[in-house]
Amino acid sequence: MIYGSIPGLSDRISRLVLGSVSFSTANQDLASSMLEHFVAHGGTAIDTAQQYGHGESERAIGAWLRVHDRRNDVFILTKGAHYHLDDAQNMIHRVTPEAITEDLLSSLDHLQIATADLYLLHRDDPSKPVGPIVECLNKHYQAGRIRAFGGSNWTPQRIEAANAYAKAHGLQPFVASSPNLALAIPSEPMWPNCLSVAGDAAAFTWYRERQFPLFAWSSQASGFFSGRFSPEDTSDANVVRVYYREDNWERLRRAREVARQHGCTPTQVALAWVLHQPLNVFALIGPRTLAELDDCLGALEVRLTPQEVGWLNLEG
C-alpha cells in the first residue's frame, strides 16, 4: 500500500480508498470480508455516505467496526447534504445547516462512532452563501463530531470562497475535495451536479499547484476499462451516455497495450494512471467482489513511466 496525508489529520491515509456504495447489512458477510481483506493489505481509508442505500452502507461498516474492533485502524470518510427528489422528481437542495446537522448525526449513529475523520458535503448549492455552511461545519468540528471537513463536487472557486470566509473569521477551512478523476473523460456528468477534473485543465492546475487533497471518485470510470464495454454494446445507458466517445476508446486501446507490456489488467493501468498524477490524490475504488478488490490492489504494483502516463491520455 502507499499512503498520503492531510494537514492536521493522519499521515497514513491509504492512497486507495475503499468505496462502499454496494455494502449493506443484508449482505454483511461480504462487506465485512472485503473490509478485512482491504485492511489486511494495508488499506486504511474507507469512503461512505448517508446517501448510500439510505444509510445501509454506513450501517454495514458500523457493524464491522463494532464486531472486529477496527475503529483505530481506519480513516472514515463520510458525506452528507445530498439533494432529495420530490414526488415530481424535482431536485431539492439540502446544503443548509439544518440538513448538514441532520445527516451528520444520522451518519455517526449508523457508523456507531463518535467522530468522523473527514466529513464531505456530498453536493454544493452555489445559490447558498458559504458563511452559514462554514459556521455549521465548524460547530461540529468544535463539538468533536468531525476531525476535518471539505466538499464533494465543489468547484475550486467555491472552495476558495469558503476558505476565505474561514480565514477572515478565524475558523477551520475545507481541507479536502472529492471530484471525479479518471483516465476516461466524461462527456457529461454521471449524476446531476457532479464535477470532474478529467479534461478540465484549469481545475487540474488548481489542484496540482496547491496540492489540495483530492479524493477521486469513480477513479476507474465506472468499469470502462474492465473489458465489459465495447462500441457495439449499448446495454448500460449511463456508461454509454458518459464515456462512449472516440478519444476514450483510444485510451482503452492504449491501456490494453500498456497492460500487455506490464503483465497486468487494463483496469489496473487506468487506476495506476490516477495514482501517478502530480496531485495529492486518493483514488476511490468500488469493488463488489473480493476478486475485483484484488484487481484494484494489484494497481499498486504497476509502475508507469512519465511517457506512458502522457501517452495513455493521448498526450504525444
175/183 Cα distance (integer angstroms)? 25
- Split at pLDDT 50, 70, 90, the class of 253 is very high
The structural domains of the chain, with segments of one domain joined by +, span 3-312
Q: What is the pLDDT of residue 40?
A: 97
Model's pTM, two decimal places? 0.95
Q: Which three cell numbers stand for residue 103?
A: 445527516
8 A C-beta contact, residue 162 and residue 135: no
Q: Which top CATH class is 3-312? A: alpha beta
pLDDT in tens, 173-200: 999 999 999 999 999 999 999 999 999 9
Quick: pLDDT tens for 118-134. Answer: 999 999 999 999 999 99
Q: What is the mean pLDDT of residues 258-284?
A: 98
pLDDT in tens, 148-170: 999 999 999 999 999 999 999 99
